[in-house]
Amino acid sequence: MSDCRWLMVLVLSFIIYHLSFSSAGAQIRLNLGQNSPMQKLINAEMAIKNLYVDSVDEKKLVEDGIRGMLKSLDPHSSYSTKDEVKAMQESLTGNFEGIGVEFNIIDDTLLVIQPVMGGPSEKVGIQAGDRIVSVDGSPIAGVKKSKEDIVRLLRGPKGTKVVLGVVRQGIGEELKFKVTRDKIPVKSVTARYMLRPGVGYIRISSFGATTYDEFMSSLKQLQKDGMKSLVLDLQENGGGYLKAAVDVANEFLEKRDLIVYTDGRERAEFRAQGDGHFRQGQIVVLVDSYTASAAEIVTGAVQDQDRGVVVGRRTFGKGLVQRQINLPDSSMIRLTIAHYYTPAGRCIQKPYEKGKGDDYGKDIQNRLQSGELMSADSIHFADSLRYYTLRKHRLVYGGGGIMPDHYVPLDTTFYTRYHRSLQAKSLIINANLRYVDDHRRELTEQYGDDFAVFQKTYEVPQSVIDGIVGEGKKLDIQPKEGELEQTLPYLKLQLKALVARDLWGMDEYFAIINESNPIVQEAIRLLE
């Protein structure tokens, strides 16, 4: 291959094709002078490809080079392959294309937990409890296929058709359903319900393209149901789109209130429009150590503008702004270009050392070992990190992440070692799937659509608990003295919530499980 062609390959492999955007008023141009760093990089790649003793994968070589450059910058600048970009976009754009079922694998068989309401599978008659055993005549049950392989078979472009072989309890023959694939919505608002009379609850799992519309639908419905105060649950919300976070925060704030600003080579401010639909009622925002990025923007805006209180534990501290740079082969670079700051001027990003991503990734573990997750007294802030909220001038702290107004420690006695071991081996979820699969008809007949009766009266059969304990023993998972008694209350509640999820949905799951969540219960206490 000629040097000219090699030059074109390298240039296209790096950022050049899509880096012709304006930054600080100047075009980014490639310097290919004889002594330029880029020319040096090109020469090195050409030498390795043409002279190295063994053949090399040129694509991997270039990708490793990109990753190496980004790794030396900060923990959040990253490179993603074409397939990784596709998976990322599905979670953020709020849809993917497929058959529309929520499923799990049990005993090497795909068990339908729920078909997506209005989705292609529900339209042709596939039901909860069905087992999909073949796809276009090829068996997927009993052949040791991974969940990822099965997903690849079920997903496909909108409009394409797939024939599913289904086994249904009570019917001897295998049923055939021809399903036309379609766009399947991915919900980022995973639960909404009335937590208490007058108190609404909305849980947002991420901030994607459809989050604001989902949030507004939930907000308006709860207001119709009599909501006066809102609990906004952002626990374990890893963030997402800045615009979605700004739009949600706008619903709470007055006109011109600062929501967030970014500062890098340029500064940008994002302010409320003053047309929000919940600018009066009380707000409690729930956070934990995994609340990050866009979720921290909403949290910081509510806290700094004294619009509500924050309950939980210090958030993750992801305050680096990334710009997506699309490369010609559909791969992508996410390059940090600025920092996020709360209205009071706190930098959301926690400290890091360039090139030490491994240390950065152990931050949550370090918080656990230092005692921060169990006691607020273990958290110490320097005087230089003092800031004050904009209306009531309450003391808040910077230094990375959002420190809640009301700290709730992690209860390590609640989630026992024994429970974590059972869960890690999927014994709890599998026991639930088998139980609901065997008793779905009688549960449906007994409770129908009356979740309130289920919530008040249902108890998990002791036989299910005994089965989980017995399966644990087979895998040498044994409780220590007193550990079983300590585990049982939450285990029973968890199983009850899982049954509710399978019979109704995520609203009902959280309506049950939140009754044991200390952070949610602290929010209720504050509002009451």
- The catalytic residues are 293, 304, 318
d(CA 182, CA 180): 6
Count Cβ neighbours within 10 Å for each residue of 421-430 and write b for 16 or more, e otherwise: bbeeeebbbb
Count Cβ neighbours within 10 Å for each residue of 443-480 and write b for 16 or more, e otherwise: beeebeeebeebbeebebeeebbebbbebbeeeebebe
Structure tokens at 332: 């992508």
Contacts of 252 (CB under 8 A, 6+ apart): 272, 276, 278, 279, 283, 301, 302, 307, 308
Concatenated DSSP letters of 132-150: EEEETTEE-SSS---HHHH
Contacts of 51 (CB under 8 A, 6+ apart): none
Q: What are phi and psi of 403, to 5 degrees?
A: -80, 125
Torsion of CA 66, 72, 78, 82, to 10 degrees: 20
Which residues, in sequence order, are bridge partners of residue 204? 189
Structure tokens at 113: 């937990």
Query: Which long-range contacts (C-beta less than 8 Å, at least 24 apart) are formed by 392-398?
Result: 392/306, 394/306, 396/303, 396/304, 396/344, 396/346, 397/346, 398/345, 398/346, 398/347
d(CA 492, CA 73): 47
Structure tokens at 305: 């503008």
| Cα–Cα nearest to 407, from 367, 351, 348 | 367
Q: With contact defined as beta carbons under 8 Å apart, do 176 and 159 qualify?
A: no
Q: With contact defined as beta carbons under 8 Å apart, do 322 and 337 qualify?
A: yes
Torsion of CA 371, 375, 381, 387, to 10 degrees: 140
* Helix (H), strand (E), coil (C) string for 154-190: HCCCCCCEEEEEEECCCCCCCEEEEEECEEEECCCEE
N- to C-terminal Cα separation, the chain: 74
| Count of H-run helices and E-run strands, the chain | 18, 23
Torsion of CA 317, 323, 325, 326, to 10 degrees: 80
